[in-house]
Structure 1
């Protein structure tokens, strides 16, 4: 009787495991711990990678096409058998149909009824990975835009401006090569290089690029000039339009490119072309910023040619920087769903407090922009810490405390008309010196940073966080009241309390 019950319980347990195995929304591989051969694979992984169940069975992981040329080789298997655990946070794979994805790969070796078994859990984190790549690329593009704008304001001639744009693209944007070409009229419709920087080594001389309908005009540059549309090449090795130049491009270390056409006031066309050292996925924010750079170049050349007053152009640059800041903010929030909208709400509250304190419109404008990207430095914090569903350990919190300094380092060389980098750097400082990263106190703190500090705390406490539910507005206002004049500036706290309690201000959802 007891044996019969045990067998029934065992069958129920096996049935539950099989149901979990087959319905899991993560990929699962079961391996023989002695031979490394795959003994089972769940439906999710079959669907994700595009290989059949039969194609997995009996093979070693590194023999499956999707895992070839990755860290998962025989050395990793030996390490797993020794340590009984390996983990890769961003393992690049390629599905059967050629789609590139990024996965979190965790493998454990454990004993199951006296037999060693290896279980590999594979989670598709492609969306998060691409968001992180997009954020880094967007941050680089922001720096490029800032430096390019400075170059425009200092420019005295077209050749030096073209050369400076190409230099900035390579040295700040980390492209392998950049060049600018003019679309010449006439029978051959040649694209004449006027400037380049980086690893060119004769490539442009050999390329013979045109913008007509011939084979030499069918590439990204020629197409961009004919259509006026940006052309993207994510992988030069396979792009059909790069066939005439593929061998030379790959030999020069070019693996991706973007062609950005722009038009001068007289109707003539030119193209800024950037070549990447790796295969690339061009995000919408990065593409938008690069288009702004090429558009600014065209505007700058037209300004040089027509002697438009630089003061008018400076206002245009300011608007461009403000738009860029919003793109950065949107990209940051794509990476961390738990704080989606946090920066926007903090910016609204900061601006309202600043207005209550009587700050000028110009200072409020700068504070609003700084608050909109005050958590930019979280790009340097592992996503697992940002989204951890419980309180951080001391070590994890130590890493989190680095984000104001990281944000400052990203923005410190961007030429804003407001001290945005310093405001961001100081938003976790406190007037008694108990804050971070530098323990600044009193008059060493910008007023804008002190306003941002109060707004950040109020919004964070009133909203949901990964490790707790929202504490509510009353608790948030009580917190800043208790610390009024101790860690938070008294006037700032008083202004914050007035706008909520007397003026009916609410934090948007």
Structure 2
């Protein structure tokens, strides 16, 4: 409604003082009326008061109507009303100039009102005008008035203006301080809000990247062919808000021989091949060529020029891009690149550190998929040539698993063996036994699509890790169901983690809905896991494993299969030296990723605990504990940075001096060396190290004779202490 809108405009420009101004005018009007009604006034004075009140009411009403319709004229209206108030008041005083007249009090009211509203200076101006107008109004009777009364009356005008003005100024200052404080708080809140918004935006952005990565990881599992996989991956990248162009190139004989993008018909890129060796044509200087040449991730940000300007047949699709990242596609970390993934971003801040890590891991997965597809193509060729050689095909798939994790490969062989024993005990047909054995050999094939950071993680899995692991039955099914000779095995593999109570995965089947061969494989799989050493969990004894199977019969495992297991598996010989500890150099490198000390690159105390509690599988016999004394004083004297440099040099010299040993940094200034034979390791030898010899650092050396099958505990008191558990 227009009236309501107009009222809101008035409220926006008026404050408490304006309301007080209005209230005092109304109060003055009603006070005058009350005075008129209650006081005995002379007829002449009463007549003047009535006329004055009527005039006061009319022009006050006029003033507030102007304020209502033109609220921006507020102060001008107040000044106009002041002029009118002084005029009418002076006329009233002139009409009754005697000192006994009450009209003079109106000057006090006007001075108070305008001093409060406009401040001390204006209040003094009003007091001065009031004094002058009062003198003019009583000029005719001035000789009759005692000068002391007149001075007192006029002086009180200024006496009233000054304290009221000072009080008003103080209130204004306090108001300004409060407003300044409020503004400061608002600015801080706004700043903090902006920071939180930026963090939320970053989280949203990274979640978007994570969704993209998850979708492409699914493509890696489900895509039927390499060209469709790479084209679909590029298309999914460009669906990301800031990635508007992407291409994947495959390397062959020193040149990019195949190129895939979101739009196969796009004319932006010239036809391959592109040479990538340095100095061989202008295309050798683009980010993708440098990435493949140096076998590392290359990031370039836009400095105002076209990114990789020599590459484009039509540069329009990448015009305005703020940055480009080119990542090598490798089957395994450290291998030669198979190709490159190139992504252009229009995001002003370029690529976040977490984003780069996710893209790097995804590039590794795509590289592994490229290698897997090529291996699959090779396997298909071999299958076509040797269609009758069933066993060779089976073990080529097992080899794919073993390339990533030899522990998993040993696990599949044992599960296949236990499954065969159960199948024989359950009187399955020869054909069913063979199907079960083959499915058991392949039951973890889906873990090919599981990232190394999860599959090879030596510790306990997080909830997210477990969710990724749970994808492997479906992944294995989707991989094998596309191969004619394995279609009947794919369903067995798909359901080998289902449970009779319906709480399994991936489909939550229950009871007889689960294929019998899947139920047999589930028992064999769990039995091997129970009887195998893990990093943070020792294996169960045979009797304990069988007891646990019986306890879970009917809920997690099929009761009929468990009954057969208690009979047939009670006689098996368990492998004595199976564990998750690394054996090959590749496994050791992967394993050390989880247990490296960031400062020195040595193993940390967590890995020391693992080694000490797995002595039966690594044949270590001697432990040397090294404690660096006087280090706090050294740090105080030269600074923490110098102390860190001393640690780094000492660690390098320690590794160089004992290359065949495991070297650890544990708990700050404690180090440990584990060897298979006794070493001539003493304080004098270590003190001669170049990084230590010129310092006041002293080194305590303690030797511990390790006994196989003995458990050890680690404590940090004044220095590192390693004690056999049975001595506690």
Q: Normalising by structure 2, what TM-score? A: 0.34
Structure with larger RCO (C-alpha < 8 A, sep 6+) = 1
More helix by share: 2
